[in-house]
């Protein structure tokens, strides 16, 4: 692409580094910004700079937060005996939206993935084990994605927790509510039959 302006070229190149954005889409976005009031672009630029300069990770659960201890960890009505292990802030948001979990979270910051160069030392696993050793926690729930990387991470943490004799569980895998059986994949369907639950508990 030959740009008529260095300023335009720089902006497009920077925007094109965002995930899923190519040069053409970046150009469309930048030209859109040029048609809006300058204040919109300044707000965008400031909000991004502010975010990376001032964001903190909660000291307890490692979730993204504005303060040292996040709202969930600081809430006295949450049950600190149950810890739900998740990958990142999006999973916390998804589970919070269900209103079904009243315990605390532990955000790993990723999954063990040798291909992407992420080992156990890059995640907050050590801090989770230390937390469990303090003795308050009664149960650890694994809520990672059902992928090779997620299962590996679950298993790695499970092996460390085994010696501490603590209750561990994983979120149920099965047919999604509203899904039709005929379209379900056989592994999910197979597991949902093996792990069937008493009918009166399914509401």
Name the residues that contact a copy of itself, by CB under 8 A. Answer: 1-8, 10-11, 13-15, 17-21, 25, 27-34, 38, 40-55, 58, 63-66, 70-72, 88-90, 92-93, 96-97
Closest CA to 57 of 29, 82, 89: 89
Bin 165: left if φ > 0, else alpha if -120 < ψ < 50, else beta: left
Nearer to a copy of itself, 25 or 168 (CB): 25
Q: How far is the CB of 65 from a copy of itself (least distance, A)?
A: 5
Q: How far is the CB of 52 from a copy of itself (least distance, A)?
A: 4
- Residue 73 CB neighbour total at 10 angstroms: 19
Q: How far is the CB of 112 from a copy of itself (least distance, A)?
A: 16
Nearer to a copy of itself, 95 or 132 (CB): 95
Nearer to a copy of itself, 42 or 167 (CB): 42
Nearer to a copy of itself, 64 or 171 (CB): 64
User: What separation in angstroms does the CA of 193 have from each of 135, 141, 150, 175, 189?
Assistant: 35, 21, 22, 10, 6
Location of structure tokens 């975010």: 51
Q: How far is the CB of 115 from a copy of itself (least distance, A)?
A: 16
Residue 71 DSSP code? H
Nearer to a copy of itself, 67 or 164 (CB): 67
Bin 182: left if φ > 0, else alpha if -120 < ψ < 50, else beta: alpha
Q: How far is the CB of 174 from a copy of itself (least distance, A)?
A: 24
Task: Kindly report the three-state secondary structure assignment for every residue of 173-200.
Answer: CCCCCCCCHHHCCHHHHHHHHHCCCCHH
């Amino acid at each position: 692409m030959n740009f008529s302006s260095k300023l335009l070229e720089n902006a497009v190149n920077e925007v094109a580094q965002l995930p899923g954005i190519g040069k053409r889409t970046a150009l469309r976005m930048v030209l859109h910004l040029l048609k809006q009031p300058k204040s919109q672009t300044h707000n965008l630029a400031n909000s991004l700079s502010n975010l990376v300069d001032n964001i903190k990770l909660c000291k307890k659960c490692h979730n993204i937060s504005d303060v040292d201890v996040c709202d969930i960890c600081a809430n006295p009505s949450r049950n600190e005996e149950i810890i739900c292990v998740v990958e990142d802030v999006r999973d916390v948001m998804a589970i919070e939206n269900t209103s079904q979990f009243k315990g605390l979270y532990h955000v790993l910051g990723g999954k063990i993935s040798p291909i992407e160069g992420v080992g156990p030392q890059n995640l907050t696993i050590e801090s989770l084990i230390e937390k469990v050793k303090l003795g308050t926690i009664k149960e650890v729930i694994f809520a990672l994605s059902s992928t090779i990387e997620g299962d590996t991470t679950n298993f790695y943490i499970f092996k460390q927790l085994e010696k501490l004799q603590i209750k561990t569980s994983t979120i149920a895998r099965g047919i999604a509510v509203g899904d039709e059986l005929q379209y379900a994949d056989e592994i999910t369907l197979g597991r949902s039959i093996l792990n069937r639950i008493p009918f009166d508990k399914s509401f």
